Each structure stands twice: as C-alpha cells, then as structure tokens.
Amino acid sequence: MRQYLSHGLGVNSVALHLLLLDQGADFEPVYVNHGADWPETYQYLSMFQRWLARRGHRPVTVLTPDVAGHATLAGYCRERRLIPGMVRRWCTNRFKVTPLKRHFEDPCVCHIGVDAGEARRAKPGARKGIVNRFLLIENGLGREGCARVIREHGLPVPEKSGCFFCPFQRKSQWLLLHERHPELFSVAAELEERCAADRVARGKAPIYLTGRPLMESLHRWRGLHPARSRRGRRRHGNEGGEQGWIVG
Ligand code: SF4
C-alpha cells in the first residue's frame, strides 16, 4: 500500500520523517505550501531538502493549494475579508487537508506527526481508503523525544510550524513575530482590520486574532513604558525556541 507523510516541517514531522527513513520505509513526504508559514519554516525546508538530497533521499513534495483560485491563505483572506477561524478551522481544512487528500492515491497509509504527549489528537482516517498511522505514539516519542531524534541525526531542531497570523499563537509568538518580522505583523493587522470593517458594515460584531485589535494587544503586552517594553522583548526573544511555539 502507498505511504505518505503529511509534513508540517515542525519538530514532530521532521522526527517522524527521520524515523521512517531509519526504518527504510518507502513513502512520499508531502508538504502544502499556502504561503503563510513563518519564514523560519521555509528556511528549514530549504536546508532539509539539501540534507535529503546529499543522502540520496526523496525530497519533500511541495504542493500549492488552489482554493477558489487562491494559492495563498493570506490572499484568500484578503479577498474574502476573512481571518483564520478558531472554531471550525476552515483554514486548515481548505489550505492543508484538502490539497493533501487530493494528492493522495488511495488506498494508502498517511503518517501523521502526533506525538505521545498529545495522543488524544490521533484519529483514524476520516476518508475511506486512507488509514492514518501515528508512529511517534507507537514508539512512545513525546516532544522532547522528537527533538532528540532530530539532534541525533545532526539536524537543528526546527521551530514549531504554523501560520504567522494564526489565532492560536501565544502572546510570546505575536511579540516574536513583531520583533523578527514586523512586515508580517503588519499584514496580520491589515487582514484583521479588513475583516472587522467588513463585519461591522454588515451589522455583525467584529472578530479579532487575539480577542481585540492586534495593535491594541501589542501595546497592552509590551506596556507603554519603553524600559518595560525592552525587558519584555528580551524575555520573549529568549522564548523563541521550539518550546515557545504552538501549532494550529
Ligand atoms: S496554523 Fe492556524 S491559521 Fe494556519 S491553517 Fe492552522 S489553524 Fe489556520
């Protein structure tokens, strides 16, 4: 049966990829690029593709979604005046899950990087012909175990993957985004403003990525005192490793 790895380029996916290579499995790793991952994820992808090529391994297949003519999640949100949703996760379904399922030839096994510490997230295949498999759980590998596997292969541990304007991001991630990638922070604020203005014009309550307008959140988090703000930036900068990230 065909085997695929649903790749997010985060800690779990990379560890699972290495585990499958170590087992000599014949599988296709597949990543959907909707253009909204953090820049660090794209840098890791380039490095990892070179690492795979040097060892004669199959590269990660990179798919481009097509959602009503949109290849990027930000472009879709801009045109539709939407922001990613915390309730139904339409963004994941349309821009990640659906392109993967279109690509898969069934019957097949889909390897998913859910680790042993989050086993409740492991679900059997939702579609007939696709069987989900959770090797990290089968091998008792939690987040730290995954990081160890990656280091043992001589690779850097990736920062956790996710969209730069994901509403599931923690405060520390938003602050890190503003510090490292202020232009992307501005894109997130702009998308949010468009969405809120459109909802208000249609008589609906505005919704926000952080529960209130992003710039307002930023000012609240950093405080108005410059010294306090600098301390905050240093503190959050130190949290910039994998542990400070969540995935949507
Ligand atoms: S990371 Fe967040 S914004 Fe991106 S697809 Fe997942 S839930 Fe949506």
pLDDT score, position 232: 43
**Distance in Å, CA 228 to ligand 1 centroid:** 31
In the chain, the largest separation of any two C-alpha atoms, in whole Å, equals 60
Same domain, 140 and 219: no
Whether residue 89 has its Cβ less than 6 Å from ligand 1: yes
Atom of ligand 1 at shortest distance to CA of 247? 1
Structurally, the chain folds into a number of domains equal to: 2
Give DSSP secondary structure letters for 160-196: PP-BTT-TT--HHHHHHHHHH-HHHHHHHHHHHHHHH
65 lines ligand 1 (CB under 6 A): no
Instruction: Tell me, yes or no, whether 206 and 129 share the same domain.
Output: no
| Same domain assignment for residues 207 and 146 | no
Q: How many CB atoms lie within 10 A of CB 50?
A: 11
Is this model's pTM higher than 0.85 or not?
yes
More confident residue, 88 or 242: 88
* 119 occurs within a structural domain: yes
Q: 57 and 29 in one domain?
A: yes
Q: Is the CB of 92 under 6 A from ligand 1?
A: yes
The 10s digit of each residue's pLDDT in 51-94 is 999 999 999 999 999 999 999 999 999 999 999 976 778 999 99
Classified as helix, coil or strand, 81 is coil
Ligand 1 atom 3: the closest Cα is on which residue? Answer: 166
Considering the domain architecture, whether residues 94 and 123 belong to the same structural domain is answered as yes
Q: What is the pLDDT of residue 139?
A: 96
Q: Whose CA is nearest to atom 7 of ligand 1?
A: 248
Q: Terminus-to-terminus CA distance in the chain, angstroms?
A: 29
Domain co-membership, 85 together with 118: yes
Are 107 and 190 members of one domain? no
Mean pLDDT of the 143-167 span: 96
Domain boundary among 108, 123, 152: 152
Same domain, 116 and 228: no
Phi, psi dihedrals of residue 189, rounded to the nearest 5°: -65, -40
Kindly state whether residues 118 and 179 are assigned to the same domain: no
Q: Do the domain assignments include residue 161?
A: no
Range of the domain at 52: 2-152
Is residue 164 assigned to a domain? no
Tell me: do 144 and 235 sit in the same domain.
no
140 and 182 in a common domain? no
Each residue's pLDDT tens digit, 104-141:
999 999 999 999 999 988 887 767 799 999 999 999 99
Q: What is the pLDDT of residue 227?
A: 46
* Whether residues 62 and 16 fall in one domain: yes
